[in-house]
Amino acid sequence: AQSVAQPEDQVNVAEGNPLTVKCTYSVSGNPYLFWYVQYPNRGLQFLLKYITGDNLVKGSYGFEAEFNKSQTSFHLKKPSALVSDSALYFCAVRDSGNTPLVFGKGTRLSVIA
Amino acid sequence: EAQVTQNPRYLITVTGKKLTVTCSQNMNHEYMSWYRQDPGLGLRQIYYSMNVEVTDKGDVPEGYKVSRKEKRNFPLILESPSPNQTSLYFCASSLKGDNQPQHFGDGTRLSIL
């Protein structure tokens, strides 16, 4: 069965600095990987996905993610953090073959002015 | 506007009193799903539906029922709610396919006393 881990409950970064939110996964086949963001009192919003192809995926709001097959990781990155990026971030993985989407426990990002 | 609509957004009720949380999407999506979000546990899937009249259990189906009589609607039914079902619930929908991102409603906060 597929699984995903977000090793950090909380990440703090100063505004203007680069940010990284970590995610590792486990699947038996080829992974479909997603990042979502959740703002207070809202549902999850899709940021980006990796299906196949380039290891660096670009998404919404200037976010990107790097797929590393050997390390089974899919870390979320942004070159310059904004205070408005402060939110809860979820990594999710799906194995091939109509399997359920499995979410990590989430990482709370705080960007400090 | 493309959206997933959940009702109610907030509900406080008592143990044993049947309740239904409605979910409707206007994107003609085949796939719909219910999740619960609890602190430290991330999102866990309750039930999902690949299409009309097709439903399957997720990771935590006990105490819940669903139905999919129409493509746009996917209600979540708690026949006899208990306090351990106090949680934040999300409905999501997507097109069919492993690489399709899910669209989430804004959530329903249930408190069972």
Count of pairs with CB atoms under 8 A, one residue in A, one in B: 53
Pairing mode of beta strands A102-103, A87-94: antiparallel
Q: How far apart are CA B101 and CA B109, in angstroms?
A: 23
Residues 6+ apart with CB under 8 A from B62: none
Residues 6+ apart with CB under 8 A from A54: none
Q: Which residue of B has its CA nearest to A37?
A: B104
Query: Per residue of chain A (113 residues), what is the pLDDT tens digit?
Result: 889 999 999 999 999 999 999 999 999 888 899 999 999 888 999 999 998 888 999 999 999 999 999 999 999 999 999 999 999 999 999 987 767 889 999 999 999 99
Q: Which residues of A are less than 8 Å from B48 in CB distance? A: 100
**DSSP letter string, A73-109:** EEEEEESS--GGG-EEEEEEEE-TTTPPPEE---EEE
Q: Between A43, A44, A51, which is nearest B99 by CB?
A: A51
A60 in helix, strand or coil? helix
Neighbours of A54 (CB within 10 A): 9
